[in-house]
């Protein structure tokens, strides 16, 4: 029994674990150098695109209209380049549709209170094939602007098409009545323009003349304020207002300027029945020096001393009313 090994005892033979890795770890820690660029890796999408470009360049087929051998997508048209105007308000929208302006869409608010004007809008839009879109009130608020009173309707129209000033004058002289035009010098508020358009149409005016510079154009706000009169009254835009005034004087028209500092009152004007062009200046600066020099007569509207001046559109309305009244008296 003495030579028999102890039960359960196991003698391990062989050497223990060798310290170190034999150099494997050292070689692993050496690294493989800096990471190559994406386009230098053949398996990477950028590397494949580079290979494609090199092949196309060698074939002479690469141009500025291609990217990575593929044609560029057409640039999207941004809303900033959209020249359309959004006209709001029931009267303005209805008059625009009646005038057969090439509208592209009619927007109606959900749960709108129907009246005769809305029914006529829907009828005209249906007959002309204009798309009718039902939108929520917040969307109409966004389309019309923060201070727009859209009354639940809006229509998208192309930019206003201005008439040529010569055509405007010739058409007025071909008519039987004495021509009456309003020219604006420095009016920059679209609401003033809209009110003047409305008054000119109401009192028998033949058209409005606007300078291209330092003056507002027929915008959506002017459309709205004119209550649709912009669709009926021709409006011309000129590059040189002074030259247009000279052309009108050659045709025998009297040029009347409005200025609160004039000593001649409106009621003293004796040429109301003649061919007239009324020049209205801005509220702040009034008539420009060159425009003032070309006027045959400058008149003022008497007001209370406590009031500094009249709004340009109000002064124009009073003048047009007085001229129309004098012409009516003369025709009786």
**For strand 235-238 and strand 180-185, is the pairing parallel, antiparallel, or unpaired?**
unpaired
What local confidence, expressed as pLDDT, does residue 330 receive? Answer: 67
**Boundaries of every domain in the chain:** 82-157, 165-331
What is the topology classification, in CATH, of domain 82-157?
60s Ribosomal Protein L30; Chain: A; (3.30.1330)
Instruction: Say if residues 68 and 198 touch (Cβ distance below 8 Å).
Output: no
How far apart, in whole angstroms, are the C-alpha atoms of residue 88 and residue 151? 7
Q: Which helix (H) or strand (E) holds 31?
A: none
Residue with tokens 């507002």: 216
How far apart, in whole angstroms, are the C-alpha atoms of residue 151 and residue 276? 37
**Residue 70: DSSP 8-state:** E
Other CB atoms within a 10 A radius of the CB of residue 12 amount to: 5
Name the E strands within the chain. 66-67, 70-71, 85-88, 105-109, 132-135, 153-157, 180-185, 207-211, 235-238, 254-258, 276-281, 297-299
Q: Write the CB contacts of 243 (distance below 8 Å, at least 6 apart in sequence).
A: none
Domains 82-157 and 165-331 share a fold: no
The dihedrals phi and psi of 277, each to the nearest 5 degrees, come to -130, 120
The per-residue pLDDT for range 26-72, each reduced to its tens digit, is 666 666 677 888 888 888 888 888 887 887 777 664 444 444 445 44
What are the tokens at 191? 């609401």
Bridge partners of residue 238, in order along the sequence: 211
- CATH fit for domain 165-331, picks 3.20.20.140, 3.40.800.10, 3.40.1280.10, 3.90.1300.10: 3.40.1280.10
What local confidence, expressed as pLDDT, does residue 51 receive? Answer: 83
What local confidence, expressed as pLDDT, does residue 25 receive? Answer: 62
Report DSSP letters for 168-195, one per residue.
HHHHHHHSSSPPEEEEEES---HHHHHH
Instruction: Say if residues 279 and 291 touch (Cβ distance below 8 Å).
Output: yes
The per-residue pLDDT for range 268-279, each reduced to its tens digit, is 888 888 888 999
How far apart, in whole angstroms, are the C-alpha atoms of residue 307 and residue 325? 25
How far apart, in whole angstroms, are the C-alpha atoms of residue 194 and residue 189? 9
What local confidence, expressed as pLDDT, does residue 220 receive? Answer: 72
What local confidence, expressed as pLDDT, does residue 159 receive? Answer: 79
How far apart, in whole angstroms, are the C-alpha atoms of residue 129 and residue 98? 14
What local confidence, expressed as pLDDT, does residue 76 receive? Answer: 45
Instruction: Say if residues 317 and 195 touch (Cβ distance below 8 Å).
Output: yes
pLDDT in tens, the chain (332 residues): 556 656 665 665 555 555 666 666 666 666 667 788 888 888 888 888 888 788 777 766 444 444 444 544 444 444 444 567 788 888 888 877 887 777 888 999 888 888 888 899 899 889 888 888 888 888 888 877 766 677 888 888 777 788 888 888 888 887 778 888 999 988 888 888 889 999 999 898 888 999 888 788 887 778 777 877 887 888 988 888 888 888 888 888 899 988 877 778 888 888 888 888 999 887 777 788 888 888 888 888 888 766 777 888 888 899 999 988 888 876 65
What local confidence, expressed as pLDDT, does residue 233 receive? Answer: 87
What local confidence, expressed as pLDDT, does residue 12 receive? Answer: 58
**Among candidates 263, 255, 310, which has minimal Cα distance to 283?**
310
How far apart, in whole angstroms, are the C-alpha atoms of residue 130 and residue 111? 20
């Amino acid at each position: 029994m003495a030579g028999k090994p102890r039960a359960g005892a196991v003698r391990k033979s062989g050497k223990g674990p060798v310290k170190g890795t034999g150099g494997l770890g050292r070689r692993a820690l050496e690294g493989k150098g800096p990471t190559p660029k994406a386009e230098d890796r053949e398996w990477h999408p950028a590397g494949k695109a580079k290979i494609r470009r090199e092949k196309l360049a060698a074939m002479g087929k690469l141009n500025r209209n291609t990217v990575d051998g593929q044609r560029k997508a057409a640039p999207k048209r941004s809303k900033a380049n959209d020249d359309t105007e959004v006209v709001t308000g029931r009267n303005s929208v209805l008059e625009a549709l009646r005038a057969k302006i090439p509208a592209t869409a009619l927007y109606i608010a959900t749960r709108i209170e129907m009246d005769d004007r809305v029914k006529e809008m829907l009828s005209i839009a249906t007959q002309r094939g204009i798309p009718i879109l039902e939108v929520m009130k917040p969307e109409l608020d966004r389309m019309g602007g923060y201070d727009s009173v859209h009354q639940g309707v809006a229509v998208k129209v192309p930019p206003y098409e201005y008439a040529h000033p010569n055509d405007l004058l010739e058409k007025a002289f071909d008519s039987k009545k004495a021509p009456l035009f309003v020219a604006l010098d420095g009016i920059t508020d679209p609401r003033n323009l809209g009110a003047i358009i409305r008054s000119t149409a109401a009192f028998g005016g033949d058209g409005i003349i606007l300078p291209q510079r330092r003056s507002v154009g027929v915008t959506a706000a002017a459309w709205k304020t004119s209550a649709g009169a912009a669709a009926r009254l021709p409006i011309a835009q000129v590059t040189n207002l002074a030259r247009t005034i000279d052309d009108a004087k050659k045709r025998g028209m009297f040029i009347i300027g409005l200025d609160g500092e004039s000593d001649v009152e409106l009621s003293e004007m004796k040429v109301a029945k003649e061919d007239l062009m009324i020049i209205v200046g801005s509220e702040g600066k009034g008539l420009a020096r060159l425009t003032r020099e070309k006027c045959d007569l400058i008149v003022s509207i008497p007001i209370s001393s406590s009031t500094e001046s009249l709004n340009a559109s109000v002064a124009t309305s009073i003048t047009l009313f007085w001229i129309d009244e004098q012409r009516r008296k003369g025709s009786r």
